[in-house]
Amino acid sequence: MVKIGIVGFQGDVQEHLEMFTRISGKGKNVQVQLIRKEVELDSVDGLVIPGGESTTIYKLIKEYNIYNRIKEKFKDGFPVMGTCAGLILLSKNTNDPRVEGLGLLDSEILRNGYGRQGESFIDDVNIKGIGNVKGVFIRAPVIKNVGNSSVLAYYRELPVMIYSRFALGMTFHPELTEDTRIHEMFMGMIGGEGYISSGEGIEVLGE
């Protein structure tokens, strides 16, 4: 059994929950818990920080003492995935004085780097180890510097998905599609001691 936590204050919480429900429907033994209290982090094997408003999510995870607990658990190998706003929160430098990044990814981010709501778009993104997925970019941040992170996908020569052991972040929203492969990749990180395989070798934990 794999138990995934989703930071449950704001953003695409339901959409991530539905992704793991789809995975469960394919026979994988996964459960989901919404995380709104510090103590709840101790009952899950990995954590998703959803897309939404990074300033709002940051304010609430600080207020409810979740922020520091994530950093503590990460040091012990606790996998965390962030999508869009979640990536901003995972990063070392957010370039936003209102949001102090967790520093789980050695990356520098430009918030809304692709433009505002009107510049949102969907296009194919080729992900190392997975192949093409539909990338849903909504007020997407730009990864200005990947630091020591590995790049798993580019879009028009810009990195859009990065990885460092136990941390996975992307500028787009996989939760807004019906393609579960990125979420299954994250589950593989939990089962594979933080390492992402080439896509063939790792067994996603399941029934």
Q: What is the pLDDT of residues 115-164, one digit of tens each?
A: 555 468 999 999 999 999 999 999 889 999 999 999 999 999 999 999 99
Residue 203 lies in a domain: no
Residue 174 lies in a domain: yes
Max Cα distance, the chain (Å): 44
Residue 148 lies in a domain: yes
| Total domains in the fold of the chain | 1
Query: Region 83-91: what's the mean pLDDT?
Result: 97
Predicted pLDDT at 124: 97
Q: Which residues form the domain of 111?
A: 2-191
Q: Is 15 a catalytic residue?
A: no
Residue 196 lies in a domain: no
Of the residues 16, 173, 183, 184, only one is catalytic, namely 173
Of the residues 15, 40, 84, 119, only one is catalytic, namely 84
How distant is the alpha carbon of residue 28 from its chain centre?
20
What band does 68 get if pLDDT is binned at 50, 70 and 90? very high
Strands ordered across the beta sheet of 2-7:
30-35, 2-7, 46-49, 80-83, 167-170, 158-164, 150-155, 121-127, 131-137
Strands ordered across the beta sheet of 105-110:
91-93, 105-110, 142-145
Q: Residue 168 carries which side chain, given as an amino acid letter?
A: L
The CATH number covering residue 93 comes to 3.40.50.880
Q: Is 84 a catalytic residue?
A: yes
Q: Is 173 a catalytic residue?
A: yes
0.85 surpassed by pTM = yes
Beta strands in the chain (DSSP E): 2-7, 30-35, 46-49, 80-83, 91-93, 105-110, 121-127, 131-137, 142-145, 150-155, 158-164, 167-170
Residue 201 lies in a domain: no
Q: What is the pLDDT of residues 9-65, one digit of tens each?
A: 999 999 999 999 999 999 888 999 999 999 999 999 999 999 999 999 999 999 999
Of the residues 40, 63, 100, 175, only one is catalytic, namely 175
